[in-house]
């Protein structure tokens, strides 16, 4: 019988990172997939990144994951969002060639040592004494494993809906998975039903672009991966257009045929990804909605119509799309559809992404109730690392909320849970100023090195960068010629009542950048602009960063106090009943996690602290 250290079920964005991490950490790994042609498939937008998601990708990269590198290799257009709104919320977003991206990742997997790939359907998770020991495939073959990572995405008992038409299948005509969902259910997992959707793809040559606004990429900006040396070229243009009252009338007229309103769709859909019929109903006073046109690949014949997702019948879709200015003669290649699928409650998971009920069974990606390629990949990476660490008796990797968006994502999932597909947003991160796109490597490379996924090459590049940062930090503390400083102040219309003596003080001024200072004083040689920009941010945000640091230190104290997951909170006299029940059902791993559970008050945490110290002393 075949036996593996780690079996990863599913080859989407979560599964791929998970399998690569496990294999790269020297575990004998098997990746199963329903279809090799669906590896790393971008089933919705042909784009990676976006607000908060861009940060996730760079975090994955800093930890030694693959997504950032693969995205950079297949970019059609790269933009930095939010440039005018502060560094903390600036995020990269790229249009990528979805076919090239898939082929690229497939190639990476196929070339990976320690990794087997197998096209098959997994129908059962094999468990004995609450511990996983393998999987069973549809061929009735049993494969043994020390750990199993479930990354099945939207394929569990899924069905697609286009108006009155519905079919049991996965996204984009791929087959779906039967059996696994009921296997999970019989293991005691609570199964939820979520829903999402995608717009139509249309033929490029059938669009009248004169009715749309062009959107170009940015030049000379950082990339997702800290290893990418060559600035990607912007070869694609995107377009912005609008729906109109005519479109909305068509939708209103056909509402009784909309599955969303006829009761045909029962799954819970995400509020941030509504269908066009949802937008028209909920925001009736809006006379137009934005749509963006994005090419699916480098050939540019097939166009993704962002903002126009729908589950209306085919004929209504046709009428709707054609009502848009510039779409008069549009040809729909693939219809918009909604998809319903099974997922588990993420509250059943530990912060390591291991199941609370079945040992050595991990979950990552959309099966945990998230949405988005980046969210999935981030979880996949962590689940892969932790599956490996579990086998090798290493401490699990749990990133804190102040360390990474990945930490925020997983903590939200396992502590708060989610009742709709969860999307990462910068507003979910309370330490947003620290979790920037530009410092992901500074935050996480050392951690990735400790895990074992940061190789010598990446580590060397990182250390060189640190050296350069230190150098810049030294230079900006040196005294400057006060006459020239004053000249610069006057030129930049800054107050001269106090004359700064160093570059550092100059940069603190609102209207003066590190580049202005460099132009005037020629301080930095052979230092790239990303590094200068990073130092500038640290200087300009210093006060705020320190304030966040104080809050983090307060939080960390509780985060460092470990709780036994078999502890019976009923034993703690003085805890309120609600707190006892909540803590007993959650079994938090740290006092910090306990404090974030709704229904547990600060007084309860105080009581718990005293109790814990007391029992430690009694021993």
Partner 1 sequence: MVDDVIIALSTPVGKSGIGVVRMSGKNCLDIAKKMFTPLNKNVDIIPNLMVLGNINLGSTTDIGFMVYFKAPKSYTGEDTIEFQCHGGIAVTQKIIEKALSLGVRLAEPGEFSKRAFLNGKMSLDQAEGVIDTINAESESELKASSGLQKGILTKTIENIQDTLIDIMSEIEVNLDYPEHDIEYATKEKINNEIDKIYTKISNLLKTEQQGKIIKNGVNIAIVGKTNVGKSSLLNALLGTEQAIVTDIEGTTRDVVIGSIEYKGIKFNFLDTAGIRQTNDKVENIGIEKAKQVLKESDIVLLVIDGSKELDNQDKENLELTKDKKRIIVVNKIDIKKFIKLQEETVEISAKNNINIEKLKEKIYNKAIDGCDVNNTLVLTNARHLEVLKSAIREIKSIKETIFENSLDLVALDTRQLYEKLGEITGETIDEKVIDRIFSKFCLGK
* Residues lying near partner 1 in the complex (CB under 8 A): 44-45, 51-52, 81-82, 85-89, 199, 270-274, 279, 282-283, 286, 289-290, 292, 306-307, 309, 416, 425-428, 430, 432-433, 510, 541, 544, 548, 554, 557, 573-574, 598, 601-603, 606-607, 609-611, 613-614, 617-618
Which residue's CB is nearer to partner 1, number 86 or number 300? 86
Q: What is the distance between the alpha carbons of residues 246 and 263, in angstroms, rounded to a whole number? A: 25
By beta-carbon proximity to partner 1, the closer residue of 288 and 357 is: 288
Q: State the distance between the two ends of the chain, measured CA to CA, in whole angstroms.
A: 47
> What whole-number distance in Å separates Cα of residue 423 and Cα of residue 52?
9
CB of 606 to partner 1, least distance (A): 5
Shortest gap between Cβ of 222 and partner 1 (angstroms)?
Answer: 17
Here the tokens at position 333 are 């290649």
State how far the Cα of 317 lies from the Cα of 46, in Å rounded to an integer. 21
H or E element at residue 184: helix 180-186
Which is nearer to partner 1, 82 or 182 (by Cβ)?
Answer: 82
Of 85 and 483, nearer to partner 1 (C-beta) is: 85
Residue 495 Cβ vs partner 1, minimum distance, rounded to whole Å: 12
Tokens of 287: 């006379």
What is the smallest separation between the CB atom of 548 and partner 1, expressed in angstroms?
Answer: 8
Determine the Cα angle at 11 with ends 384 and 362, to 5°: 35
Smallest distance, Å, CB 369 to partner 1?
A: 14
Quote the CA–CA distance of 447 and 342 in Å, as a whole number. 34
Q: Which is nearer to partner 1, 128 or 618 (CB)?
A: 618
Nearer to partner 1, 329 or 606 (CB): 606
Q: Quote the tokens at residue 434.
A: 């620290």
As to burial, measured by CB atoms within 10 angstroms (0-12 exposed, 13-18 middle, 19+ buried), residue 413 is buried
We find the least distance from the C-beta atom of residue 6 to partner 1, in angstroms, to be 34
**What is residue 31's three-state secondary structure?**
strand
Minimum Å distance from CB 605 to partner 1?
9
CB of 181 to partner 1, least distance (A): 27
Nearest CA to 609 out of 582, 578, 574, 570 is that of: 574
**Closest to partner 1 by CB, 231 or 548:** 548
CA atoms 437, 85, 426, 373: torsion sign? negative
Q: Residue 147 in contact with residue 362, Cβ under 8 Å?
A: yes
Q: 335, 200 in Cβ contact below 8 A? A: yes
Nearer to partner 1, 28 or 540 (CB): 540
Neighbours of 530 (CB within 10 A): 14
């Amino acid at each position: 019988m075949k036996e593996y250290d780690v079996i990863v079920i599913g080859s989407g964005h979560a599964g791929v990172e998970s399998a690569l991490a496990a294999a790269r950490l020297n575990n004998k790994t098997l990746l199963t997939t329903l279809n090799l042609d669906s590896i790393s498939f971008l089933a919705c937008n042909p784009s990676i990144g976006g607000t908060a998601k861009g940060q996730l990708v760079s975090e994955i990269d800093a930890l030694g994951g693959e997504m950032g590198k693969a995205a950079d290799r297949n970019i059609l257009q790269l933009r930095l969002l939010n440039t005018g709104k502060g560094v903390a919320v600036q995020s990269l977003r790229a249009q990528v060639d979805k076919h090239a991206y898939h082929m690229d990742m497939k190639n990476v997997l196929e070339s990976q040592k320690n990794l087997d790939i197998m096209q098959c359907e997994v129908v059962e998770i094999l468990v004995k004494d609450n511990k996983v020991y393998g999987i069973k495939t549809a061929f009735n073959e049993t494969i043994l494993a020390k750990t199993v990572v479930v990354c099945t995405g939207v394929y569990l008992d899924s069905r697609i809906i286009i108006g009155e038409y519905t079919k049991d299948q996965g996204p984009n005509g791929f087959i779906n998975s039967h059996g696994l969902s009921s296997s999970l259910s019989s293991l005691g997992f609570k199964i939820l039903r979520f829903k999402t959707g995608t717009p139509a793809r249309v033929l490029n040559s059938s669009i009248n672009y004169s009715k749309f606004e062009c959107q170009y990429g940015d030049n000379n900006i950082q990339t997702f991966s800290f290893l990418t040396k060559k600035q990607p070229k912007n070869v694609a243009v995107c377009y912005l257009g609008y729906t109109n009252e005519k479109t909305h009338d068509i939708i209103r007229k056909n509402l009784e045929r909309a599955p969303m309103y006829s009761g045909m769709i029962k799954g819970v859909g995400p509020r941030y990804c509504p269908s066009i019929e949802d937008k028209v109903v909920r925001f009736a006073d809006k006379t137009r909605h934005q749509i963006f046109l994005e090419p699916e690949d480098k050939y540019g014949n097939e166009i993704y119509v962002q903002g126009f997702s729908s589950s209306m019948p085919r004929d209504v879709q046709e009428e709707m799309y054609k009502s848009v200015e510039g779409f008069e003669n549009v040809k729909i290649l693939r219809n918009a559809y909604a998809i319903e699928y099974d997922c588990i409650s993420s509250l059943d998971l530990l912060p390591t992404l291991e199941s609370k009920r079945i040992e050595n069974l991990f979950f990552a990606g959309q099966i945990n109730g998230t949405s988005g390629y980046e969210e999935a990949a981030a979880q996949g990476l962590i689940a892969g690392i932790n599956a490996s660490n579990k086998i090798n008796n290493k401490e699990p990797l749990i990133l804190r909320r102040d360390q990474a968006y990945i930490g925020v994502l997983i903590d939200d999932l396992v502590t708060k849970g989610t009742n709709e597909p969860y999307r990462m947003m910068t507003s979910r991160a309370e330490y947003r100023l620290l979790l920037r796109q530009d410092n992901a490597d500074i935050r996480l490379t050392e951690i990735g090195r400790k895990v074992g996924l940061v190789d010598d090459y990446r580590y060397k590049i990182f250390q060189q960068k640190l050296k350069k940062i230190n150098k810049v930090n030294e230079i900006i503390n040196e005294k400057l010629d006060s006459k020239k400083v004053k000249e610069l102040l006057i030129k930049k219309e800054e107050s001269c009542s106090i004359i700064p003596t160093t570059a550092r003080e100059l940069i603190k001024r609102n209207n003066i950048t590190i580049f202005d200072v460099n132009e005037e004083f020629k301080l930095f040689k052979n230092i790239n602009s990303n590094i200068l920009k990073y130092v500038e941010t640290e200087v300009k945000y210093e006060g705020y960063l320190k304030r966040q640091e104080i809050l983090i230190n307060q939080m960390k104290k509780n985060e460092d106090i470990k709780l036994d997951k078999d502890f019976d909170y009923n034993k703690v006299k003085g805890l309120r009943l609600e707190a006892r029940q909540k803590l007993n059902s959650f079994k938090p791993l740290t006092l910090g996690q306990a404090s974030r559970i709704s229904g547990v008050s600060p007084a309860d945490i105080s009581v718990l602290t005293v109790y814990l110290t007391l029992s430690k002393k009694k021993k």
